[in-house]
Structures are given as C-alpha cells and as structure tokens.
Structure 1
Amino acid sequence: MPEAYGAPEAHGAPVPPGGRRRGVGSLAALGGIVGYLVCVELTSGIVQGYYEPLLSDIARHLGIHDADVNWFEASQLLLSAIAVPVLAKLGDVVGYRRVLLWTTAVTALGAWGVALAPSFWTYLVAWTLMGTYTVWLPLEIALIHHRARRRPDARGLTRKASGVIVAALQAGVIFGALVAGQLGDGLGGDRIWMTLSVPALAVTAVFFVVLRKVPESPDVAGGRVDAGGAVLLSAALLAVGVGLLGLRLDGPDAWWVWLLVAVGLALLWPFARYELRQDDPLVDLRVVARPSLWPVLVTSGLFGVSVLGAQGPLSTFARTDPDAYGYGLGASAFTVSLLIGGYVVASLAGALTFARVSERTTPRLALVGATVLVALGYLLFLPFHDATGQVLANMVVAGLGSGALVAALPAAAAAAAPRERTAVATGLTNTTRTLGGSFASAVFALALASGATTTLDGDVGTAGSLRGYMVVWAVCGVTGLVAAALLLVVPRLAFADTAATAAAAGTTDRRTDRPEDHA
C-alpha cells in the first residue's frame, strides 16, 4: 500500500518518474488509519454528548438533587486522572492499539452498567468505569504522530489529523445529544434504560472496529511501566480526588477534606524526587519542564474547568423552570440537545480550522486565540443568560475555542515530546484537564447548592442557585484568560514543523527559532 507508513513517499523520499507525490499534509500519507480512528472518536463523542440532555431525567429517576449530578463527573474524572498516565505509558511500552482495545472493552462494560443500574451507587460505579474512554484520544494522536514522524511535515500532519478525529468526536456529540433528546422525551420514566442502551451499543460496535481494523504502532518504544511512580502518583491523585469529593459531602468546614487534599499535594514531592532518579520514569519531569510543554499542560488543566466542569451546570440551568425559580430557560430535553448541538457544531468548526489558522500564523498564537474565545464565551453568560438565543450565542463562542483546544493541546504535547514519551505527553494533557475538571466539578457543586433554592412560591426546590451559576461562569472565564497569558511563555515558533516552514509562513524569529523548539 503506497500510502502506508514505511512506503518511500511517506518518508519524504523521491518519487520515481511517473509517480506522484501527495501534497504536504495529506492525510493519505497515514493510510486508512485516520478513517478507523474517526469511528472511535465518533463513538467517544456519542458517549460524551448523549447523557447531557438526560441529566435531569436521570436525577429524577434516581431520586437525587440536581447538584448531585456532579458526583458522576467527579468520580469519572478521578478515575481518568489516575488511569490515563499509566495507560498512556503502557501504550508507549506495549503498543497504542492494544491499550486502545483494552480500554474500549472496559468502557463498553461501564456503558452497559449505566443502562441497567438500579440505584445511585451502582450507576456511580458504572459511570466511573466509563472514564477509561478518556485515554482514547491521547493514544490515537500518539499513534498518528508515530506514523507521521519521519515526514518533514509531521507536526502539521498530526495537527490536521487531530482536527479531523476531534471533528468526528464533536459530530458524535451532536448525534448523541440529538438522539438522546428525541428518545428522552419519548422513552422516559420506567423505560429510561432503553434510552441509555444506545451508547452501550455504540461502544460495543467500535470495540470490533478496533479489533479488526486499527493497526498497531509501527515502532513500539518498549521498556517498562514505572510501578513505583504509578503508585505514588495514583496515591496523590486519589487523596486529592477523594478530598474534593468530600468537599461536596461535608462542605468546606470539614477538616478531613483539607487534610486529604494537603496529603495528596505533599505526595507530589516524593513522586517528583523518585521520578528524577529513574531511567525510564512514568512521567519524565525534565521533559515536562520544557518551555514548550509545561504551559500547554497547565493550559489543559485550566481548560478542564470549563470543558468538563461546566457542562452539567449548563444543562441543569437550561432545564430550570423560570416560572418557578425566576431564572433558567425551562427547556425540554430536546431543546437542551439543540443547545448542545450548537456548541458542538462550533467546536467541530474550531477543530477543523485550527490547523489552517496555525499555518497562517503560528501554533502558539492560534492556541492563545482559542483560549480567549473560551474565556469570552463564558464571561458573556454573566450579563446574557435570560433567553435561549443568548445562551446559544455564548455557547457558540466558547465552542469555537473549545474545539480548537481539544484538537491542539494533545498535538502540541506530542510535538514537544521525545518519540518514546509521545503517549505520556499527550496523556498528561488529559490528566491535567481531568484534574481541572474534578476541582471545578467539586467547587461548582458547592456553589450550586449554596444560596436560596426555594421556588417563587416559597417551596423547597431542587434547582441550583442563580448565584452558583454566576460563580461557574465567572470561574470559567477567568481561567481561560489565565491560560491565554500562560501560553505567551511558549517559544513563538514552538510546534512548527521546521524553521523553513516557519519562514515560508512569514513567522521566522531568530531570537526564538532555537533547536529545542523543533526537537
């Protein structure tokens, strides 16, 4: 197969007379793998978008408060934060396709558990297991980067392929949200399990796609998984995560909550010292400390506040009845699915256009612009949240930036990392994002539960407070602005393919075009 990895033209070798060289950045150079990974991310999108319009229905089905919906996200994000670094490193060691297959099986098990769970706690366990899907995108981008790495345009090709599979993810979110909205209105009540079976069927199908169609990494790095580092990091993340969950249970006055968080943060010190002594660490902190990588990881954490922590509150705000509480949209599940669809269409556009914007400017500048869009979108909620059109417009602005960041951050991490650390670097963007989402989810749950939650008639209500929603939107906006400022620390030509490419784009800067920027 001439387009496959290993063919001469894929390595940038001369094409024989009469042959045809594909254009720089053509996804055909990667063979058919992008198409199969599109199927995987389409399913990932279904999983991510399907449940959002149904959160209020699920809360009523389980007999819980709207604010308790955040428990699902918090527990899933905690598992993701712990599992993704280990699974990503395992991908570098044994192969990305193999780990992708394993995690698809676990996600399918969790999805079927969600569909059939009879109680809050069984639902919580099943939902948590589904969190293993969060390693799919880092593994896929690592696989793409490895197959493209010998091409002179490897970084641009990785960005373009990342944009395509993230666009598929967003399309899956749209499809999932629309289908959930339709089925949620028609199959509610005792038949909600039928509605919740749809994503389980999708994940089961994609398991066989990975099993039969996705090829393994062309050159597995080998090595071992740093068990000591995995234990220390898992203990630190578990302590912090449980502390944040406890923050919801007993509030900020509980001393044990802060003790657990302090213990978790303190464990990062022996973890760092241990990792620096290892020849093959779980997390190479020297690589993380590169000026082209650490701002990307911090940005990913700040981005997690909005992209993961704010989605539940947006759904429950839209479902809140303004006639009863004086705020909210009083939207049906189908209307919420349309709002989510608008957000995701904008995210899809942001994912597809990021590579082109990066070519015309620089990848760093495109990242800064994306974070500013996220910040602007959420800050607009503060004055404009009384009508469906206002909420949709705000979500579209934030969605443009969010889609670009979902595609760009793992690709940027892959470009900044050594070959044998590709999956770990891309996985760290996911880990920091889930940590940011976990923290935000805990804080937002407290914010929504605070203040008056009575109806206009004086009855006790189950909706979150308006003051809490204001806190959510303000925090998301401010973290976006902070991320934009941090990205200015990244060298100007970081993540560009070559100095020649940068010069051709009119972006050469002798002060910052250093070898390490293109390593």
Structure 2
Amino acid sequence: MTNAISRGRGLIATMSVIVVCSGVVQGYLTPLLPVVGGHVGIGGVGQNNLYLLSQVAFAVLTPLLSRWGDMWGHRRLLLIAVAMVAAGSLLIAARPTTATLALGMVLQSAVVGFFPLLAGILRSRSPEHGRVGMSVLVGALLLSIGAGGYVAGTLSDEHALAGLWTAVPFCVLAMAAAVALPSSTAARAGRFNTTAALLLTLGLGTLMLVLTEGESWGWASASSLLTIVAALLLLSAWVRVEQRSSHPLVDLRLLRNPRLAAVSAHTFCIAFGAIGFLGANAVYLGTEPDGDGLGLGLGARDISLVSLAMVAVGFVGSTLTPRLARAIGDRAVLVAGGCAGAAGFLSLVLFHSSVPRYLVGALIVGLSTGMFEATTRTLSVEVVDEAETALSVGVNEMALSLGAAIGAAVIGALWAGHTTARGAVTSTGYQWAWAACAVVALSGAAVALLFRSPAPVPALETGATPTGRTA
C-alpha cells in the first residue's frame, strides 16, 4: 500500500483525506457556537473569545509545527498534529463545557500544521506534482470547510449537541491516512529556538489578554497600560531574537524583500476581517431579533448554509484569480480583493436587518477571502528565490494567523464596550466591528499598491521564451 501512495495521484488522494479533516474541523464549530454557547452558558462576547483563543493558538502553532517538522520529520509531526486534533474533537463532543471547549479548540488548532507538513512530504516525494497537488488540496480544504459546517448544522437541528460529533469520524480517517503516508526524504536540519517560541507565545497571550479584558479593566487603567507595555516588550524581544538567530522560528529577515513585505501586510489586513470575523458572523446570525433589526435568529443548519454559501463564493473567487491576474496583473488583483472586502463589510454596516440583505455583504466578504488566499499564497512562493520558498510561505501564514487573531480580539473588545445588561451585543457593537473590518480591509488595498511585479526578462536572440513574470 505504501508503494502505491508514495507518488502521484495516490499520494495526493491520501493527503486529500487529511485536508478534508482539516476543513471539517475548521468549519463545523462556527455554526454551532450560538447553540453550544446557550447550552454551556456562554454569551456572544464569550463565544467570540473562544474563537479568538483558537486564532491565538493558530498563530503560535504555525511556526512551531513547521519548524519541528523540518527538524524531526514531516510525517512524524503530522501524526502528532492529527492526534492532537482528534483528541480535541473527541473532548468537545464527549463533554461540552466552557473549559473543554477552550482546551479542545486549542488542540484542534494543530490543523494549522497540516498544510506545511503535507507540502514537505509532497515536495520531496513527488515534486513533479507539486503545483497540481497543492491546487487539489486547497480546493478540498475550501469545500470541506463549508460541507463540515452544513453537516454539523443539520445534525444539530435534530439534537442540539449532535453536531459536535461531526469531526470525530473524519479525524479517524485522517489518522489512518497519516499512518499510510510515506516519510519525507528531505534532510532534517536546524535547531529549535526555544527562547523565540516562549517570547512569541507570551507576547501574543499578553496582547490578547488586554484586548479581551481592557474594557472591564478600563483602557486607561494601570492594569491595561502595564499589560500593553508588557505585550509590546515581549513581542519586540521576540523580533530581536529572531533577527539575530541562525535558526529562527520565523525568518523575519525575509521581510526585507519589499514584495514579500507588501504581500504579507496585505495578508494581515484582509485576514483581520475576512477570517477574524467568522466567529462574530455566526453569533450575529444566531442572535434572536430584538425588534430593532439586530440579529437574524437563524438555527444551526441555516447558519451553516450561509457559511457554505460564503465558502462556495470564495472557491469561485480563488479559481478565477489566476485568470484575473493574467488579465490585469497581480497588484490590481490584490487591490481589488481589499476593496471587495471593504465593500462587503460596509454593506453589513448599512444593510443587515434581513437575511437577503445580510447575504449580500457576507458573500462579497467570501469572494474577497477566496481572492486573497489564492493570490497571497501564490505570490509568497513566487517573490523569493526557490531556496527560500518554505520560509516565505511560513512568514505569510504567520501574517494570516496574526491578522485573524488580532481581528477577532478587536471585534471582541468592541463588543465588550457595547453590551446590554443581559450580556447581549448591541447593534452599535456589531456596526463598530464591521466598520473596523472595512477600514482595515481598505488599508490592505492601499498596501497592495506598494507591490511591484518583477520586470520581464528580455527574450534571447535565439527566440527562447522569457523566464520572468509579466503580470
């Protein structure tokens, strides 16, 4: 069996099983948040904070799992990551409480390691199928995110907590697929930078703490100000350690490349809203209307249908992006994606009192998500030398994780300042959150204007085809 899947289609098919698990895990909890939150006694702010916790874990685990995979073997770390996800999924399904939801979602965040670890195996075992293989895996991921949410929502319509079991069978299949995969033949090298890992974890944790508790502490209080200073010092120290290390956790020196810096900044800005608001999206859709146009009162299945529609539009956007880039250029596509995200969130600010009106803005945000994910992941590979490909992808993925985490934290902070006596988020709280996402998305479009494609290489006199990009 191992020989049959060591290369080509068999290898890609086996990897697709693992990626489908990743998509289901990332998609199935979002439409269930209102139902599960009501069951365990977590309000809208608390539900968003759970989503925020998972995004912080994403940001921390992104460089850790990738680095450990380079050191100890991609397949070995993949098995560990799948086991973590399976344990978290089982814990959430078997005993849903506030504590188990928090711990389970942190464990599930190990899905962030699936793509870089699978890419390491694919690159070493079947490099000739690298581009096709990654496109198949990305497509499988996008579709399974929406399908996982729909299955979970349908199950929860029959029994409130039944949808929590959605991910468990997929985790079992993913574990079997990971066992069947061959080991990477890439050389294992490097050392783990423990100091950088600790500084990054503590810095992000401290930053998220003040963003979630600043309203209750008072933004001008000594507690808030000291926590902000501590977060900035820890993250500054992390940057200095990374810049001086011969074995960095995240090679920030690559950001000296202005093209990668522009792409990563754009990724951060669009992920801030497009991904950071997904938890808030489910909360709003599931909130019972209050008579003033707040909340849509949808059930888990209907929420999952909205999420599925957003993913479907995003899938279309991602598949059309290469053609669009050839027609108008990479920079124009980046700008268009940022403007689309801003337009989508602005639509939510103005029109959100009914499902059809809300869908307009939500689907535009979904389109922006597909465009930015396809474009930035492609450009993060192409703007650096081949030897720096993995490091460049790691920097961009880190920007995505940080953008999503900080976006969710800012949304939570804005919500915390606009709640009713019963703890429900007010209409003003939602509108401020959507407006913040629109502003940051527009900033992403502005940053994209700094991106410059390389000049095409002149054709040789012999008629050889130019090797440079012309987009």
TM-score in terms of structure 1 length: 0.80
Q: Residue 154 of structure 2 aligns to which amino acid in structure 1?
A: Q
Residue of structure 2 equivalent to 1:15: none
Counterparts of residues 251-330 of structure 1 (less than 5 Å): 251-330=218-297
Aligned equivalents of 1:245, 1:398: Cα separation in 2: 25
Aligned equivalents of 1:175, 1:57: Cα separation in 2: 19
Contact 2:120 2:186 in 1 (8 A): no
Secondary structure (helix, strand or coil) at the match of 1:293 reads: helix
**Superposed displacement of residue 67, structure 1:** 1.6
Residue 387 of structure 1 pairs with residue 354 of structure 2: yes
Distance 1:292 1:147, change over 3 A: farther
Residue of structure 2 equivalent to 1:224: 191
Residue of structure 1 equivalent to 2:139: 167
Aligned equivalents of 2:18, 2:115: Cα separation in 1: 9
Residue of structure 1 equivalent to 2:112: 134
Counterparts of residues 70-149 of structure 1 (less than 5 Å): 70-141=48-119, 143-144=121-122
Distance 1:479 1:210, change over 3 A: same
Distance 1:478 1:36, change over 3 A: farther
Residue of structure 1 equivalent to 2:167: 199
Aligned equivalents of 1:140, 1:350: Cα separation in 2: 24
Contact 1:88 1:139 in 2 (8 A): yes
Q: Residue 171 of structure 1 aligns to which amino acid in structure 2?
A: L
Residue of structure 1 equivalent to 2:377: 410
Residue of structure 2 equivalent to 1:437: 404
Aligned equivalents of 2:371, 2:469: Cα separation in 1: 21
CA offsets, 1:29-83, max 9 Å, x none?
9554333333222222211221122111111111121221012112112222222
Which runs of 5 or more structure 1 residues have no equivalent in the other structure? 7-28, 454-459, 510-519
**Superposed displacement of residue 109, structure 1:** 0.8
Contact 2:314 2:368 in 1 (8 A): yes
Number of equivalent positions: 464
Counterparts of residues 422-461 of structure 1 (less than 5 Å): 422-451=389-418, 453=420, 460-461=421-422
Q: Residue 466 of structure 1 aligns to which amino acid in structure 2?
A: S
CA offsets, 1:216-252, max 9 Å, x none?
4343352222233333333323332333343365353
**Superposed displacement of residue 463, structure 1:** 3.0
Contact 1:167 1:349 in 2 (8 A): no
Distance 1:250 1:207, change over 3 A: farther
TM-score in terms of structure 2 length: 0.88
**Superposed displacement of residue 406, structure 1:** 2.4
CA offsets, 1:444-492, max 9 Å, x none?
1232243363xxxxxx544311111111211111111111221222222
The RMSD of aligned alpha carbons is: 3.1
Which runs of 5 or more structure 2 residues have no equivalent in the other structure? 460-464
Contact 1:82 1:234 in 2 (8 A): yes
CA offsets, 1:312-344, max 9 Å, x none?
221121222225554222222222111111101
